[in-house]
Amino acid sequence: MAHAHHTSMGLDSRKMAFWAFIGSECLLFASLISTYLLYKGRSQVGPYPHEILNIPFTSFSTFDLLMSSLAMVLALAAVQRGDMRQGKLWLFVTALLGLIFLGGQVWEFNHFYHQGLGLTTNLFGSTFYVLTGTHGAHVTVGVIWLLTLWVQALRGKLGPAQAMTVEITGLYWHFVDVVWIIIFTVVYLIQ
């Protein structure tokens, strides 16, 4: 990966590209959240949100994802200072917490489905599954990304020289967490 090239803003090009990408993703999720909000309360049949959303369970998922962000910054800090033992550990923990989140989502979707909320059952089902499903797909990509870095680290091919790669991974992961913060509030808590 290219380094030591003069850049007119003195900033890493990959980091700049990635922040632009995150900006772009804001519009993606804004469109999905808008659709959810505009169709809120307009389902012609149930199940309705208050009948089916499980706040304690989802609070745990939220807590899980928040802790995964903590693990991620610890991973980055470790890689930056060259402590690859800690780096490997925290990368793995981040991915694991992400997997736990995904497991929770799968369980939740399954549970809702058996309670009668399918993708096409009503507008709540459609908007809910598409919004949280898109988020879940993003988490999945993130977990794969993290595990790839973890494997690279196991092979001894990840070190402080690749800190920017880990930083960008972190930016992606935190963004996914931040989107969930919004979804948790807008979908689950504000019914």
Partner 1 sequence: MSEQAHATTGTYLRVAAILVMITLIEVGVFYVPAFQSALVPILLVLSAVKFALVVMFYMHLKFDNRFFTFLFGGPLLLAFAVVVSLLFIFYGAVRLRTGV
Partner 2 sequence: MKSWLTTTDHKRIGLLYFWTAFVFFLIGGLEALIIRAQLARPEGLGVSAETYNQLFTMHGTTMVFLALMPLSAAFFNYIIPLQIGARDVAFPRLNAFSYWVFLLGGLFMNASFIAGPLFGAGRLSVAPDAGWFGYANLTSKQFSPGPNIDFWLLGLQVLGIASLAAGFNFIVTILNMRAPGMRMLRLPAFSWMTLVTQFLVITAFPVITVALVLLMFDRFFGTHFFIPAGGGDPILWQHLFWLFGHPEVYILILPAMGIVSEVLPTFSRKPLFGYTVVVYSGVLIGFMGWGVWSHHMFSVGLGPIADSVFAGTTMLIAVPTGVKIFNWIGTLWGGQIRFTTAMLFAIGFIAMFIIGGLSGVSHASPPADLQQTDTYYVVAHIHYVLFGGTMLGLFAGMYYWWPKMTGRQLSESLGKWHFWLTLIGMNLAFFPMHFSGLLGMPRRIYTYAPELGVGGLNLISTAGAFLIGLAMLVFLWNIVRTRRSGAAAGNDPWGGATLEWAMSSPPPVYNFTVIPHVASRVPLWQTEHHAPMTPLPATPPAPIHVPGGSWWPLFTAFGLPTMAIGAISHQLWLVLVGVAVVIVGIYRWAYEPFEM
Residues that bind partner 2 (CB under 8 A): 2, 5-9, 11, 13, 16-17, 20-21, 23-25, 27-28, 31-32, 35, 38-39, 42-44, 119-120, 122-123, 126-127, 130, 148
Give the integer Cα–Cα distance in Å for 16 and 152: 24
Residue with tokens 């900006």: 23
Residue 77's binding partner out of partner 2, partner 1, none, with CB under 5 to 8 Å set by partner kind: partner 1
**Residue located via tokens 């991915």:** 95
How many CB atoms neighbour CB 17 within 10 A?
Answer: 11
Cβ 9 to partner 2 shortest distance, Å:
5
- Specify burial of residue 122 (Cβ count, 10 A radius: 0-12, 13-18, 19+): buried
Which residues contact residue 33 at a Cβ distance below 8 angstroms, ignoring those fewer than 6 apart?
Answer: 131, 182, 183, 186
Residue ranges binding partner 1 (CB under 8 A): 9-12, 15-16, 19-20, 22-24, 26-27, 29-31, 33-34, 37-38, 55-56, 59, 62-63, 66-67, 69-70, 72-74, 77, 164, 167, 170-171, 174-175, 177-178, 181-182, 184-185, 189-190
Cβ 140 to partner 2, closest distance in Å? 12
